[in-house]
Amino acid sequence: MFCPECGTLSFPGPSGNIKCPNYECGYHGTSENKVMMEDGTEIDISKASSTSKVESRDRRVIVDSEQQQGVLTSSTYICPKCDSDSVYAELKQTRASDEPETRILTCAECGHGWREY
C-alpha cells in the first residue's frame, strides 16, 4: 500500500492501518485504497485483481545435435568411426574453471560426435 499523503510504500499493520515510514510525512491512519495517477485522476484499487494464467505457449523442439558446430579442422583429429580426418572441433568449459576445457568433436563425413577431456 502507498501512503495517501506522500505516496511512500507503506505496509499495513494487524489492524489494517498504515504508518508512513517517511519521517517527514508521518501519516498514521487508514489507507484509502486509491492511487493518484500522473494526470491527476484517482483510481480505486480495492477491487483490483490480476492473473498469471498463460493463454498460449510457444513450444518448439530445437535439435542442435544435427548441426555441425565448431571449426573445421583437417589432419588434427581422426574420427574413430570412419577414420576421416575432417572434423569440426569446439572447446567448451563444461567443468570447474580450474580444470581444462572439453573438446567436442563432430565428424564432417559421418556426423559421429565424441568428446575429449
Q: pLDDT category, 24, cuts 50, 70, 90?
A: confident
**pLDDT digit string (tens) for 61-109?**
766 656 667 788 888 888 888 988 888 888 888 888 888 888 888 888 8
Residue 115, helix vs strand vs coil = strand
- Report the 10 Å Cβ neighbour count for 86: 15
pLDDT number for residue 59: 75
Please determine, for residue 23, whether its predicted confidence score (pLDDT) is greater than 70. yes
pLDDT number for residue 109: 86
CATH number belonging to domain 71-116: 2.20.25.10
List, in sequence order, every beta strand (DSSP E) within 45-112: 71-74, 86-92, 102-107
Instruction: Please answer whether residues 108 and 72 qualify as being in contact, where contact means their C-beta atoms are separated by less than 8 angstroms.
Output: yes
Signed CA dihedral, 7, 28, 49, 56: sign only: positive
Model-level pTM?
0.42
Instruction: Please answer whether residues 32 and 4 qualify as being in contact, where contact means their C-beta atoms are separated by less than 8 angstroms.
Output: yes
**Extents of the domains making up the chain:** 1-46, 71-116
